[in-house]
Amino acid sequence: MFYDEKHHKLMIKLVSHIHEIARSLISREIDIAADRMSIVHGLVPDGSKRVVSGQYTKEPASSWHPATLPPSRDAKWPSLVIECADLESITRLRIEAEWWLTQSEGDVRVVVVLIIWPFRSGISLEKWVPDPDGNSGSNDSTTGKAKCVQRIELQCRSKNTASIEVNGGPLRLEFEMVFLRAPNSSRQRDIIVSEEALERIMGLVSDGNI
């Protein structure tokens, strides 16, 4: 959901059951990876917590913030966001990713864009981060203040996991960007959603019986 008070525009994104499956499975992998670090309640799942910023109101598909925040910021903005939709909405999703990164003035550090292909044939994942200097020259950026730094494509050619192709994986979410601090032990490391996990997610998404 996105509301622009100035222009009195309300945009509601219709999310299907299959979007919820993909989003929840990716979210679960993130939570599992965070729990493995033995940081008790270190990453707080905010879900689709609504954020109000000036004239705008926005709800993500999923979001998280670290339990311990730097002194300079509060819990208004998450550090990590997921947005999801169909392939036909990819331009809108990229705009939403940039909104989180720019409207928060960099408090949101990572946005993962999750795109479901037609007929459940594939999934695309894009990892967006702030680009305050606008040096990336990305053609996908509308503001020049954000950039896509990783693209992953999952494709299922038939109804079995052996036919699933993963290109660009694994998904890596840097520890400092998610937890807003440097790691202080060897167990604290980047959150990795492995290629094997991505294959399993693609297999479930492509299953016509779900």
| pLDDT score at 8 | 54
For every residue of 31-60, which 3-state class applies, written as one string?
Answer: HHHHHCCCCCCCEEECCCCCEEECCEEECC
Spatial separation of the C-alpha atoms in residues 195 and 121, rounded to whole Å: 17
Work out how many domains the chain is built from and give that number. Answer: 1
Distance between CA atoms of 136 and 142, rounded to whole angstroms? 12
Q: Which residues of the chain have pLDDT under 70?
A: 1-16, 40, 135-143, 158-162, 208-210
Dist. CA 115–CA 4, nearest whole Å? 24
- Please state, in angstroms and as integers, the Cα–Cα distance from residue 94 to each residue in 39, 52, 143, 206, following that order: 32, 20, 11, 24
The CATH code of the domain that includes 9 is 3.90.1570
Structure tokens given for 152: 């992953």
Q: What is the DSSP letter of 68?
A: S
> CA–CA separation, 66 vs 75, rounded Å?
9
Residue 132's contacts (CB-CB under 8 Å, 6 or more residues apart) are 106, 145
State the first-to-last Cα distance of the chain, in angstroms, to the nearest integer: 25
- pLDDT at residue 7, rounded to an integer: 54
The one-letter amino acid at 159: K
Q: Name the residue range of residue 143's domain.
A: 2-206
Spell out the SS3 assignment of 77-128.
Answer: CCCEEEEEEEHHHHHHHHHHHHHHHHHCCCCCCEEEEEEECHHHCEEEEEEE
